[in-house]
Amino acid sequence: ARLTIQGLPLLKPPYGIIAAIDMDRGDILWRIPHGETPDNVRNHPALQGLDIPRTGQRGSVGTLVTSTLLIAGDPGTHTLPSGERGAMLRAYDKATGDEVGTVFLPAQQRSNRDRR
């Protein structure tokens, strides 16, 4: 069960992150919120008028890593300004964590323990 106050998460964002860690030193090189702000937070009456940056979404996602990119799908859906619901497949620069590209998906990324 999620802990909420008036329907808002009790814990402050980010709700989901991707982080790069230097495995030799143990230092966090970069850390970013992954996924859009959930609709129930973005549209909550108590937060109207506030400029809420991307908070990320909780959930597990699989990643694809190349020599220069980290690619991951959003763990949840959100509503676009056009009214369409879906999620994004995001590409991040592996060295900096900067988002370098997105592709709209009609549903969030899903996987299971059997990797199917």
Range(s) of the domain holding residue 19: 4-105
**Number of domains within the chain:** 1
In a domain, 112, yes or no: no
In a domain, 64, yes or no: yes
Of 72, 62, 108, which is closest to residue 93 (Cα–Cα)? Answer: 72
In a domain, 113, yes or no: no
The most distant pair of C-alpha atoms in the chain lies apart, rounded to whole Å, by: 46
Please report how many Cα atoms fall inside a 13 Å half-sphere around the Cα of residue 61, on the Cβ side: 29
In a domain, 78, yes or no: yes
pLDDT tens readout for residues 20-56: 999 999 999 999 999 888 888 888 999 999 988 898 8
In a domain, 35, yes or no: yes
pLDDT tens readout for residues 7-16: 888 888 898 9
In a domain, 110, yes or no: no
pTM score of the predicted model: 0.81
